[in-house]
Structure 1
Amino acid sequence: MEMDRILGDELLEEVLRRLHPHSSFSSSTADVSFVSKRWLRLYRSSKSRLDLSLCPFYCTGPSLSSFLSHFPHLSFLHIVIPTVAGYPFSAFPDQILHSISSSCTKLTTLHLDHAPVSLSPLLSLSNSCPHLTDLSISLSTSFSLHWLRFFRSLQTLSISFGYVLGESKHVDDDASGGKYFDAELKIENLTMSYTLRGYGFDWLWRSCKSLKKLQLVRCEGVGDDTSVSSFVNCFKGLREVELRSCGFVVHEILSEVLVNCTSLNSLLIFNMASSYGLLHQFITHSGCSLQQLDLCVPHDLINNHFLSAVADRFRGLLSLRLNMCHLVTGEGLRTMVLAMTNELQELALIDCKVEPGLLTILGQRFRNLRNLDLSKNRMLVDNEFISMLASCNCLRELRVRRCEGLTNASVVSMFKSCKQLERVDIMNCPGIDAEGVELFVLNCPGLRRINVEEDKLSDVSRSWASKKLVECSSLTYYCGSRYIPRVLFVYISFNSTCFKTKDDKSQG
């Protein structure tokens, strides 16, 4: 208690701010809030980020406002509304937005998932949070987008559309009478999910003149006929395009990008409808200088001939990710590798055929690799893997999830050959046991994150990782062609004076 009196509020708040918040080996930083009311107040004051899962059974608008008022420096807020069968949520998201508007005036990032919001709380949010630069929300399909002009600082926007029974079809106001003038939106990163063909987005495309990254997820179209003609207006400075499970709309977008976009340097396509001709035409005739290419497409689209075209057209690739390319042979990959420069920094061959000798060639060719992902290659064995690592001295991130042929010998090679490793994923590798994991944690000096099953973490591994502030996770999900760690949420009961952190297993 003497030390508690010596530490002033500002000094103690700075200490709490510097505590490592994500280590699963050490006790949660929230535990410090139980020391005293003063520590609880300063702990809340020190937080700039909060992740919540809220349900109307336990939370009301006034109680949320009261809770958020204890976090005066909050800049990042992520709220998930879990789905409860048979319970109406129509008003609850609006109550949340009104609470945020009244309590979190310093917000720069707001993500509100799984429930559509209305216009009134959005307008209130734009007035109360003028510094908001990142917004992620859900809207109904009949919702106009002209409210965006009131968010003058917005640079990153993610919108998920949901159809509500009985709603009318959304028609862009400009297309039906020219009610609004074009806006100068500052949006640079735009994500749209579940858009339907025929819905009007003409005003949005004409107003996004600074767009640098476009991501479409499970979209059936980019708008009605007017919207499609305006879609090319945002291509002038476009640098990244991600198309995830968009079916045949991929063909429409690729055709427009091929003709109108020359600034593109990153392309991701996940689960497109089969059309080898268009994809091959884009690769061979595009005026872009791609630096990142990420493909997870039907098995018959990526073959040796396609890889040769990629190598000829994009020799300066910095990142190449291929997923489920079952028709690609070792010879095709060798041909591509020999045609490319040795500047590649990221390579992923997920669920591909890794033939004997190929990894050795890849390692010797690409000595500057920083990220390597060989997940789901069940036939990968120690000798091949170790031979590649001997040349990959610059690796910082390594994933071998579900590589059933690897053993502890590969783990030893990881920390002996790759001194700069920071993040490793060795989940679902039955040949790697607790002893191998312990050796790795003890001997990998730069380790910051490891994905491995909990039952493979010995007491020694946990203790040592806690001292080194290493984050451990056994919960990840698959998104596109990348593994993403599950988010930790804070579940709050407003009928109690305390709260605790849990993982989101219940959220699926």
Structure 2
Amino acid sequence: MDSLLCDELLQEIFQRLPPCSSSSVSLVSKRWLYLYRTSKTSLALQLTLQKSTIPALSTLLSHYPFLSSLSIILPLEPTTGDGDGDGPLVKTTFSDDLLLLASSSYPRLHGLRFLAGPVSRSSLVSLSSTCTHLTSLCINLSRPLFLTWLLNFPLLKELSIMVCHGEGFDHEVKDNLEYGFSSSDDFDAELGIESLCLSGIRTDDWGMGWLWRSCDKVKKLQLRSCESIGDGGSFSSFTRCLQGIQEVELRTCRSIVDGVLLKLAEYSHSLISLLVYDGGSREGLLRFFSHCSCNLQKLDLRLPLDLNNDHLLAASVNFRTLSSLRLQSCCLVSGEGLKALGAAMSSGLEELALINCDVVEREPGLLTTLGQNLKQLRKLDLSYNEMLLDKELISMLVSCHYLVDLNLRGCKGLANSAMITMSKSCKRLENVDIMNCCGIESEAVELLVLNSPKLRKVLVEESKLSHAAKTWASLKFIQVV
């Protein structure tokens, strides 16, 4: 059979295989190993900081000649430095050498995720001259942030910058065009970036105002662990990139989240997706929920001590276009707010997640009401509600006939009866996660596999898979993980 399959056909097959099969393919023969490597267009590597890292990486990359996407990660661990443990995380020269190797190996690279320590401005300019097709770039930078090198990447659509720990820039910066430290509109560029992710920005990061003014095509913005959006003049420039923004993620940005939400409510009329994790104020959130005029479709919040019923009631009035609502660890929310949301969005909400939200366990009958109101639900995530009982889940599932995805991971209070109802009422289920559900036994898992006609993937412990369940899963092409 091996001799009947030509190289091109084998490569096409390899590209269609799931990731879990790759290790088996490479062991069949030297021919298969070679063809598997040459068929790969994407590769992710995690390296260790050793003298042999660069030579070993060079040898490895030579086996994958046709990559268009490359990810290189080197865990940033403090070096001994001068003996006090505060030395540089990874020497820039080492990172530059790695970057030079990656770029010279794949000049036609489209996507590069390079998190192997901060890189110098000169190495980024060199990267731009070698990899002229780059559309996606993720890198570490150290301070000061010299951002004008972005002008050398005219095709860049996705940019992610993670700022490493280090001191700010305290030299004279006024009108220093070389570094982007200019308030003059004459120096503004027209960058084509559509997705922008920034991590670790501080108030002393000069030049951010130039970036904001130059990124007026951004549709997706992510801010992570940011104390600020840049130097003092950056906030006035920030609004320029918000005009066409569609998706915003704010993770652990407590000091700026209110200001950002205020600007979003004022300028971002095309916003359709908002995520806020671990940081905010009740007043700032309420102002946004009450005054935002956009047609928000997706709302994802992890705000244990900031989100309450006032916000949900405001959302039920102002965000009637929501199709996805995800709440995680929201301790101050009660059934009143969730029921109001359910009633307001009964015809449109397709995804609901109440992850580790004790209101699910605290208020009997809540899930029943939500199930009766949200009959168009396609995705339901109740994971890590450890005290959720069968009768509460069953009372919801009997109304959710259109469910496609169901996540019950970590719901230790569930037992077999919930699975029986799931098999009878949810005939459209394709993906089910029941990992770490202690009360669900192998008989119930077998019943689910046998009686779910559209099931395609089940996440469950192998110890709960009977021989019959494995056989039926194989025959019905159900992936069991």
The TM-score normalised by the length of structure 2 is 0.88
The 1-side partners of 2:255 and 2:218 are apart by: 23
Q: Is 1:290 matched up with 2:290?
A: no
Once residues 294 and 472 of structure 1 are traced to their aligned partners in structure 2, the CA distance between those partners, rounded to angstroms, is 28
Instruction: Report 1:10-49 matches (<5 A).
Output: 10-22=8-20, 28-49=21-42
Alignment partner, residue 195 of structure 2: 189
Q: Secondary structure at the match of 2:19?
A: coil
What residue in structure 2 maps to residue 492 of structure 1?
none
Q: Following TM superposition, by how much is the alpha carbon of 1:31 offset from its aligned partner in structure 2, in angstroms?
A: 2.8
1:225 aligns with 2:232: yes
User: Does 2:251 align with 1:244?
Assistant: yes
Verify the 8 A CA contact 1:397 1:422 in the aligned structure 2.
yes
**Change in 2 beyond 3 A, CA 1:174/1:102:** closer
Compare relative contact order (CA 8 Å, sep 6+) and give the higher one, 1 or 2: 1
Q: 1:79 to 1:413 in 2, by over 3 A?
A: farther
The equivalent of 2:133 in structure 1 is: 131
1:73 counterpart (66, 81, 97): 66
Structure 2 CA distance for aligned equivalents of residues 11 and 335 of structure 1? 56
Matched position secondary structure for 1:325: coil
The match for 1:503 is none
Aligned to 1:268: 275
Aligned partner of 1:377 among 385, 389, 396: 385
Query: Which shows bigger deviation, 416-425 or 146-155?
Result: 416-425
The answer to whether residue 373 in structure 2 is matched with residue 400 in structure 1 is: no
1:54-93 CA-partner distances (Å, limit 9, x unpaired) = 1232744344233223222212222221345637631332
Partners of 1:56 and 1:92 within 8 A in 2: no
Structure 2 match to 1:415 = 423
Amino acid in structure 1 at the alignment position of 2:283: G
CA RMSD of aligned residues (A): 2.6
Q: Deviation at 1:208?
A: 0.5
Contact 2:168 2:204 in 1 (8 A): no
Change beyond 3 A, Cα 1:408–1:69: same
Q: 1:96 aligns with which of 95, 98, 105?
A: 98
TM score, norm. by length of structure 1: 0.84
Give how far 1:286 is off: 1.5
**C-alpha distance in structure 2 between counterparts of 1:246 and 1:36, whole Å:** 51
Q: Distance in 2 between matches of 1:400 and 1:38?
A: 43
1:340 has 2:345 as partner: yes
Alignment gaps of 5+ in structure 1: 23-27, 474-508
1-structure distance, mates of 2:186, 2:62: 37
Determine the C-alpha separation between the residues in 1 that align with 2:97 and 2:337.
56
Partner of 1:432: 440
2:133 partner letter: H
How much does 1:469 deviate? 5.7
Within-5 A mapping of 1:440-451 = 440-451=448-459
Q: CA deviation at 1:123?
A: 2.1
1:9 to 1:58, Cα distance in 2 relative to 1, 3 A: farther
Q: Secondary structure at the match of 1:246?
A: coil
Distance in 2 between residues matched to 1:175 and 1:83, nearest whole Å: 29
Between the two proteins, what is the percent identity of the paired residues? 49
Instruction: In structure 2, list runs of 5 or more residues that go unmatched.
Output: 81-88
Structure 1 residues 379 and 46: alpha-carbon distance in aligned structure 2, compared to 1, 3 A threshold: same
Stretch deviating more after TM superposition (137-146 or 441-450) = 441-450
420-429 vs 286-295, which moves further: 420-429
Counterpart check, 1:388 vs 2:396 = yes
2: CA distance, partners of 1:203 / 1:54: 34
Letter in 1 for 2:293: G
The 8 Å contact of residues 202 and 228 in structure 1, kept in 2 or not, is answered as yes
